[in-house]
Amino acid sequence: MNELARHRETPLDPVTQEILQGKLLAVVDEMGIVLARCSMSPVVYEVLDFACGICTVAGDLVAQTNGITLFTGTFSAQVRALHNRFAATMAPGDVFITNDPYRGGTHGCDFAVVRPIYDGDAHVGYAITVAHWLDVGGTVPGSLPADATTIFQEGLRLPGVRVMRGDQLVDDIVAIIRENVRLPELALGDLNAQLAAARIAEKRVQEICTKYGRTTLMVVFDGILAASERLARAAVRALPDGCYKASDFIDGDGRTDERIPIQLTVTIAGDEMIFDYTGSSPARAAPINCSRGALHSAVKTIFKAMVTPQAPSNDGWFRPVQVVVPDGTVFSAVKPSPTGWYYEGSAQASELAWKALAPIAPERFSAGSYTSLCATYFCGTLPDGNEFVHIEPQHGGWGATSYRDGASALIAVTDGDTFNYPAELLEAKFPLRIVRHALNIEGGAGAGQWRGGFGVIREYEVLAAGTYLYASFGRSATRPWGLAGGREGSLNYIEVQRPDGTQVRLSRTAYHPLHAGDRVRLVTGGGGGWGSPQDRPAARVRDDIANGYLDPATAASDYGSVARSPEPTSAA
């Protein structure tokens, strides 16, 4: 290490630094392409519920794919946990697998595959990929039972074991996976895709070592982290010191519809920020909790949004951040609290930070959004007798900003480059028909000088008996918040209508049997508004009416005299 220490004192020329950073980003991109295109799980290839990264030997993330935000902060904790246990016995060709939510992970469905990267015999870093497997066993297909009271109902757990040794699969582990999941072909397909991605990463990093030298690569790792830290500290220093508070509710935990109180105090002091979630509800005996790993991701997502949305992510950015919370809250669940819907807890933790900081950084934050990923599962039997599980996230309305209306039908903060599911693909595969996919105009969005964006309505007709639904729709009682005098947005919900006309309204549901002819309406809410509705220019109100975004009656009640101002003579 003497050679490295010497190199570290004389920093690398910035040109080589830039070139190697570009190469590392190309490596994680390549991992992502391999993983997404080979995966068997729709959650991976349609929802992009996966991420790939490269970490230093110390576990610091230096390059990551841009897929979704949920994994912004989980990699380093997972790698460190494995490093601490296995460093002494690790060897080239080893690959580890873990889905333990209490050791930096998220929930049982997210399997991390970690490969130590060797250049010859020297351990130079880690390649890590995590992907959501469609089913990992447990009480329901899809492994996210809404009524779980402990993690033992959420399926198989592998707390960091070798899945490869000397580049050969460890058959015992493969057999355990195969026998404990409902769709082993899919799970092992995804495992293969993740192993391929990690193998590519090691190969590419070895090529970099051969060409530029191992020591150079180590110096580049340091340089990446240090440059980001510098920029992050400068951004925090530019914010006013002080304490910023926010509180909110999580609507229902899966087992009850109770509103669960949560809160946050953000302290800015010099170039450091503390996010303190103390005072939030204790963990629930229900899957809404998240563990520390997911909470760190939630905070880092908002911190990154504030400091530098576009720059590539790495652990350097987050060195000024400290997260405080006692063990055992809804945001710091410990064994055996279930974490199946951790992304719902994580989304609310993100939105608390967003809400606390929006008043001091309006150029980065909007009013409140529909928040919840509104994950929806349809399960049942195909005409050929095979079981099916269809999962899709719902897109919804975002809050207005200080200079324009909110975005309509975008994916929630927990995700990112995440697509909705085409009706034509769905109808070709499953006994379901989509009869409507539209903006949720009737539900409305928060009025304001700038109004919120609209949510969506997806209405399904069920074609086969024996189909059932489970789903987790948050923000079903607490509306998205407005800012600077803007009004609140609207709520998320599910409505099931029987052919006889009877209706039931749902939000988080464990198991809802459906029958042929039932109509299932999935509805997401509109975002909050910005500024007083009285300040909205009349031309915008008229334009919204002309395009059917606003009906005249709502216009009159929301915008009053603005909406009644005289119309110009009709335009061509």
Partner 1 sequence: MSYLATDVGGTFTDLVHFDSRSGRISVAKTLTTPDDPSRGVLNAIALGQEEGYVSPGAIDRLVHGGTTVINAITERKGAVTALVTTAGFRDVLEIGRGNRPDLYNLHATSPAAFVPRRLRFEVRERMDARGHAIEDLVLDDLDAIVAECRQANVAAIAIAFLNSYANPLHERMCADALRNRLPGVAVTASHEISRQWREYERTSTAVLNAYVMPVVDRYFDRLEVALGERGFGRPYFAMQSNGGMASFAWARTHPLSLIESGPAGGVSGAAAIGEWLGEPDVLYLDIGGTTAKCGIVHAGSPKLTSEYHLERTRTRPGYPVQLPVVDIVEIGAGGGSIAWFDAGDVLRVGPSSAGAAPGPACYGFGGTAPTVTDAMLVSGVLDPQSFAGGSMRLDRSAAEAALQPIATKLNTSVEGAAGAVLRIAEANMLNALKLVTIQRGHDPRDLTLVASGGGGPMHAARLARELGVRRVVIPPYPGVFSAWGMLVSAPRRDLKRTQLHQADEEAVDIGRTLFAQMQREAAEYFEVEPVDLRCFQAVEMRYRGQEHTVSVPCRLDDWNAAQLISAFHEAHEVAYTFRLDSTAAEVVSFHLKAELITARPTLVAPEAVSPIDETFRARMVDHGPGGQCSTTLYSRDALAPGFTAPGPALIEEPSSTTVVLPGQRVTMDARGLLAIEEQP
Hey, which residues between 229 and 288 contact partner 1 (CB under 8 A)? 230-231
Rg of the chain, C-alpha, whole Å: 24
Nearest to 291 by CA among 241, 224, 243, 337: 337
Instruction: Sketch the per residue contact string, 404 through 433, with partner 1: x for CB under 8 A, - otherwise.
Output: x--xxxxx-x-xxxxxx-xxxx-xxx---x
Give me the least distance between CB of 298 and partner 1, in Å please.
Answer: 13
Burial class (CB in 10 A: 0-12, 13-18, 19+), 10: exposed
Backbone angles phi, psi at 78, to 5 degrees: -65, -45
Name the residue nearer to partner 1 (CB basis): 102 or 377. Answer: 377
User: How does DSSP classify residue 67?
Assistant: S
Contact of 454 with 441, CB cutoff 8 Å: yes
3-state SS class at 474: coil
Give me the least distance between CB of 158 and partner 1, in Å please.
Answer: 21
Question: Cα(457)–Cα(394) distance, rounded to whole angstroms?
Answer: 9
Token duo for residue 555: 């216009």
Token duo for residue 15: 């040109």
By CB under 8 A, what part of segment 164-223 binds partner 1? 183, 185-186, 189, 192-193, 195-196, 199-200
Cβ atoms within 10 A of the Cβ of 519, count? Answer: 18
Contact with partner 1 (CB under 8 A) among 83, 132, 304, 508: 304
Give me the least distance between CB of 378 and partner 1, in Å please.
Answer: 16
Planar angle of CA 289, 291, 297, nearest 5 degrees? 110
Contact with partner 1 (CB under 8 A) among 46, 94, 251, 344: 46
Token duo for residue 106: 């998220």
By CB under 8 A, what part of segment 50-109 binds partner 1? 66-69
Name the residue nearer to partner 1 (CB basis): 96 or 430. Answer: 430
Name the residue nearer to partner 1 (CB basis): 404 or 564. Answer: 404
Name the residue nearer to partner 1 (CB basis): 269 or 425. Answer: 425
Give me the least distance between CB of 308 and partner 1, in Å please.
Answer: 8
By CB under 8 A, what part of segment 335-354 binds partner 1? 354
Give me the least distance between CB of 393 and partner 1, in Å please.
Answer: 9
In degrees to the nearest 10, what's the CA dihedral of 14, 20, 22, 26?
A: 180
By CB under 8 A, what part of segment 312-331 binds partner 1? 313
Name the residue nearer to partner 1 (CB basis): 259 or 364. Answer: 364
Question: Cα(154)–Cα(135) distance, rounded to whole angstroms?
Answer: 10
Question: Cα(266)–Cα(360) distance, rounded to whole angstroms?
Answer: 12
Instruction: Sketch the per residue contact string, 119 through 158, with partner 1: x for CB under 8 A, - otherwise.
Output: ----------------------------------------
Give me the least distance between CB of 200 and partner 1, in Å please.
Answer: 7
Give me the least distance between CB of 69 and partner 1, in Å please.
Answer: 5
Cis, bond preceding 431 (omega within 30 deg of 0)? no
Question: Cα(443)–Cα(548) distance, rounded to whole angstroms?
Answer: 13
Q: Count the residues of the shown chain that bind partner 1, applying the rule CB under 8 A.
A: 89
Contact of 149 with 58, CB cutoff 8 Å: no
Stretch that binds partner 1, among 256-264, 308-316, 318-326, 332-340 (CB under 8 A): 308-316
- Indicate whether 572 belongs to the interface with partner 1 (CB under 8 A): yes
Question: Cα(62)–Cα(162) distance, rounded to whole angstroms?
Answer: 24
In degrees to the nearest 10, what's the CA dihedral of 199, 205, 208, 213?
A: -130
Contact with partner 1 (CB under 8 A) among 3, 6, 19, 243: 19
Name the residue nearer to partner 1 (CB basis): 5 or 15. Answer: 15
Contact with partner 1 (CB under 8 A) among 7, 8, 29, 274: 29
Contact of 58 with 66, CB cutoff 8 Å: no
By CB under 8 A, what part of segment 432-491 binds partner 1? 433-439, 453, 456, 459
Instruction: Sketch the per residue contact string, 355 through 394, with partner 1: x for CB under 8 A, - otherwise.
Output: ---------xxx----------------------------
